[in-house]
Amino acid sequence: MILTKTLAEYANKISFEDLPDEVVEFTKLCILDWYGSALAGKDEKPVQSIKELLNEWGGNEQASLVTGGKSSIGNACLINAAASHTVELDDIHKSSIIHAGTVVIPAAVAVAEAYQLSGRELITAVAVGYEICYRIGEAVSPSHYYYWHNTATCGTFGSAAAVAKLLNLSVEQTMYALGNAGTQAAGLWEFIEDGANTKQLHTAKAAYNGSLAALLARKDFTSASKILEGKRGFFNAMSEKYDPDKITMNLGNEFKIMENSFKIHASCRHTHPAMDCILDIMKENSLQHDQIQNISIGTYQTVLNITDNPAPKTVYASKFSSQFCAALIAVKSSASLSDFNEEILHSPTINELMKKVDVQVDPYFENAYPQKWGAKVIITIKDGRTFIESTDYPKGDPEKAASRKELIKKFKTMTRDKIQDAEEQVDAILRLEEIHVSEWIAMEVREESCKQPQ
């Protein structure tokens, strides 16, 4: 069996009619959540830097930018993917450790708009993109994740698969798309040491490179046929331990997109289990932050690898600090987008409480990861009493699902100062199967043009 061919055959065969109603509805929520994250992040400095460069480069007006106006498909992928990964409110899949929305959806939307495709075609392509990148991510995780950012690497396959589906590529052409996606897959975690802008570049290039691979495949630009399992392929080159069976297990009998998780807090997902526990303890026992003597967090090793930062220097770095996020949620009972700012970063109250946060590996949660992202929190207060809370799943996981109503509210909160009529956007996205993508995008452009200075 050639794994790339198996995935290509799956992508080629599946149709909108094969998607159960619940998959269609859930996929639209993923698109809504992605779009809200992209709008929320569009004015952030890393995105503006990319925009300035692309303005210098120029590009044919093929697809809309969340920053306003139109440019080439490639430029739309770069801007829209970077924007959606900036404020740390994008979706996540536990066992593959991938933020698929930030790479699959911007690529699919740009191509669907440029080629005047239907909402049905977009929904199908997004479901396919999630399916393929999640399966590849599961096959190489967790060992791949230590050095490599799965969203950047495995996500490139997802964007390629989604665009290949939109372009109605043959099985052979889809193999070309996946092969050339794999050879471009990259993204190292070293940026986390500096809190650098590179994370946004990761999603930008994953969306761009996947689209490039698929659009070249349409012109019969060839690639390796065994990019996954070949002796110098993705598995052997980029993971210490991998499981090829994860690629094909129940393929076609389930939809991985339904395993997707949505963020409630505006920080790295690895900080969320402990934050949920702290919030529950504080609320259920009517505690105040000035009563706290110590916060002990037991969790899995990856939390320490990615978010053990007791002294973040920037607002963005604070989103990747377990200590900061624990202190923030204890003090404010909230960790929304507006809660992460310069004033809070330098707050004496927050910084003093951070010193009381201890993060250690708990064998139970380490053994359960990545199928479960959990934590156990013990809060000791100054009178000697202790309070304990644990969870296997943070809020927003399928096991603790965010409702449709909650996700619509999240979208409106994220886009409060970004668009004029969030309700109109919600309505368009939640009936995408009835319209063409250009109808939704035209609405997007109109609203963006209203925001331009007179």
Give per-residue pLDDT as tens, 417-442.
899 889 999 999 999 999 999 999 87
**Would you say residue 445 has pLDDT above 60?**
no
Q: What are phi and psi of 380, to 5 degrees?
A: -105, 130
In contact, 402 and 394? CB cutoff 8 Å: no
In contact, 77 and 107? CB cutoff 8 Å: yes
At 314 the pLDDT is 93
Its pTM stands at 0.94
**Would you say residue 454 has pLDDT above 70?**
no
**Under 8 Å CB-to-CB from 111, ≥6 apart: which residues?**
63, 73, 117, 163, 166, 167, 211, 214, 215
**pLDDT one-digit tens code per residue, 138-188:** 999 999 999 999 999 999 999 999 999 999 999 999 999 999 999 999 999
Average pLDDT over residues 378-395: 98
Across the beta sheet with 292-299, what order do the strands follow? 357-361, 292-299, 375-381, 386-391
Residue 195 — very low, low, confident or very high, per pLDDT cuts 50/70/90?
confident
Residue 450 — very low, low, confident or very high, per pLDDT cuts 50/70/90?
very low
| Residue tagged 């209203």 (tokens) | 450
- Residue 98's DSSP bridge partners are 93
Q: How far is CA 9 from the centre of its chain?
A: 26
**Would you say residue 339 has pLDDT above 80?**
yes
**pLDDT one-digit tens code per residue, 255-273:** 999 999 999 999 999 999 9
Residue 33 — very low, low, confident or very high, per pLDDT cuts 50/70/90?
very high
- For 77, other C-beta atoms within 10 Å of its C-beta total 31
At 193 the pLDDT is 87
Average pLDDT over residues 75-96: 97
Q: What residue type is assigned to position 17 of the chain?
A: E
- For 358, other C-beta atoms within 10 Å of its C-beta total 15
Residue 451 — very low, low, confident or very high, per pLDDT cuts 50/70/90?
very low
3-class secondary structure, 326: helix
Average pLDDT of the chain, as a whole number: 95
The DSSP letter of residue 436 is B
- For 59, other C-beta atoms within 10 Å of its C-beta total 17
